[in-house]
Every structure is written in C-alpha cells, then in structure tokens.
C-alpha cells in the first residue's frame, strides 16, 4: 500500500530505499541465514527444501513486480 502511494507521488527513491532495506535487513541478515541449512543440507527433492525454494521464488517475484516500473531492464533480465 505504501509503495502505491509512493508511485502515485512519484517518490521512486522511497520505493527503492524500502526494498533495499527489506532485502538487506530482513532477507539477508535474517531469513536467508536461516534458510541456508535447508538449502545446503536437505535432499534435492525434500519437502522442506522445496518449500524454501518456493518461498524465495515468491519473494523474488513480488520484489520484481514492485520494482519493474522503475527498474525495467533489471526486471526484464530477472524474468528471462
């Protein structure tokens, strides 16, 4: 909801800053650190590993859609 308000107000730097902070603080420092064991230790077909991969895919999908209007070429590369 805040991103929509920022897009409507042409405050693109706020969107980028919020996504950057989310990726650095929430994802990198916490969530991805927790997922490392699941991704590296579990079998390739295990349910916990697949769940972690699915969650990461959904996060990347959401972040890409959020940033697509201001980072069009980067978003296009992700989709390829």
pTM for the full predicted model:
0.79
Given a cut of 90, whether residue 32 has pLDDT beyond it is no
Segment 26-43 mean pLDDT: 86
Residues 6+ apart with CB under 8 A from 79: 64
Given a cut of 90, whether residue 2 has pLDDT beyond it is no
d(CA 52, CA 41): 12
What H or E segment, with its residue span, contains residue 7? helix 2-8
The percent of residues above 70 in pLDDT, for the chain, comes to 100
Report phi then psi at 9, rounded to 5: -90, 5
CATH of segment(s) 2-79 = 1.10.730.10
Could you tell me the residue ranges of all domains in the chain? 2-79
């Amino acid at each position: 909801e805040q991103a929509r308000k920022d897009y409507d107000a042409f405050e693109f730097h706020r969107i980028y800053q919020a996504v950057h902070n989310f990726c650095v603080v929430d994802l990198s420092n916490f969530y991805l650190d927790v997922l490392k064991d699941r991704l590296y230790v579990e079998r390739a077909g295990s349910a916990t590993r697949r769940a972690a991969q699915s969650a990461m895919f959904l996060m990347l999908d959401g972040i890409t859609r959020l940033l697509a209007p201001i980072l069009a070429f980067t978003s296009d590369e992700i989709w390829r």
